[in-house]
Amino acid sequence: MTDIERSWASARRGRRGHWLGGAIVGVLAVGAARAHAAPAEVTAAAPGETVRPWAAGVSEAEQATALELYRAGNLEFAESRFAQALAKYKEAIVHWDHPAIRFNMAVCLINLDQPLEAKDNLERSFAFGDGPLGADLYNQGLTYRKLLDAQLAHVKIVCPEPGTQVTLDGRFLFTGPGSVEEALLPGEHQVVATKTEFLTASRALVLVAGKLTTYDIRPLELEVATRTVRRWAPWKPWAVLGGAGALAVVGALSYRAARDNFARWDRGVSDGCPNGCDPAALRALPDYPRYRRDRDRGSNEQVIAFSLFSAAGAAALAGAIGLIANLPRVQIESHRAQPAVVPVPGGAALTVSWGW
């Protein structure tokens, strides 16, 4: 009996048990026991035998090293020490990436409740069909694939925008345009699409086990536009200046009226007292009340005139400053978009909201 045969016999006498976990044990109890009992076979090419595709480029020394580590892994496998067996198999594939070693790694990873890594290694074990595994183990592997697919979520990421870098959970997927289908653990994941001079699209994907969901994601174009803008409507500073002019005109009219009233007062006093008179004599003049009204009216109109002149000056200054501040300037505007990727059965809906 060869070493491999002895290791298989030992494995067949080994313990059965819990390698698939609660979700799979009831469905594949017989298959689980079989996979546990008989790890896939790895053999070196016999002298003169045509090199098999999975051994192409691997020297005899490397094959021998891989076989030694493989046998050590099988001993751990037979004792249900799956973590230790997995470590040996990982060492072995460094020397010879044999599909059968990948198959055994997948079984170990299933036992260690790592379905994602198990799925990856199982797919690699199918690279050359059933040749390196044998028909029985290959068919058994197909059954494991179905069970793992039921445990994992499946997503298809599509990006039609050329030159877009697409990442999933921080891991580079592809450069658009293109699509990639991935198997992932159920739950929340993050997909990001970035492109120079485009708005980055970043969305959380909530994936469900056993379902394929398609997400169409792309960065959104950042449309830059320029336009000439002012702080206020052009007429407003001019309206202030016009108001200043109007105040000045009204002030001038008030000032002229005040001057006329003072002139009438002066003429009345001169006519009534050609040689001058004291205040008592002035108040005794018959027309004194009329002269006094002219004087008082002139004083009020003069106050109004000076007030209007002051307001006109302030308004003119404000209007001048407003004209300077309201000079046209170029403003750059960006059309900002907020993408939202919403999964729907069999695909996804992409909605976009725009803002300024």
What's the angle, vertex CA 35, arms to CA 30 and CA 41, rounded to 5? Answer: 145
Length of the chain: 356
**Cα separation, 126 vs 116, whole angstroms:** 16
The whole-angstrom separation of Cα 325 and Cα 238 is: 12
Q: What is the pLDDT of residue 178?
A: 86
pLDDT above 70 covers a percentage of the chain that reads 76
What is the residue type of 235? W
Instruction: Using alpha carbons, select from 305, 205, 200, 201 the residue that is nearest to residue 248.
Output: 305
Instruction: Determine which helix (DSSP H) or strand (DSSP E) holds 268, and give its type and residue range.
Output: helix 235-272
DSSP E strands in 84-211: the ranges are: 153-159, 165-168, 171-175, 178-184, 187-194, 198-199, 201-207
Q: Which of the 8 DSSP states describes residue 50?
A: P
pLDDT digits (tens, 9 = 90+) for 74-128: 999 999 999 999 999 999 999 999 999 999 999 999 999 999 899 999 999 998 8
pLDDT of 82 = 93
pLDDT tens-digit series, residues 262-306: 888 788 777 777 777 777 777 777 777 887 888 888 889 889 989
How confident is residue 350, by pLDDT bands cut at 50, 70 and 90?
very low
pLDDT in tens, 204-247: 888 888 788 887 887 777 655 557 788 888 888 899 989 989 99
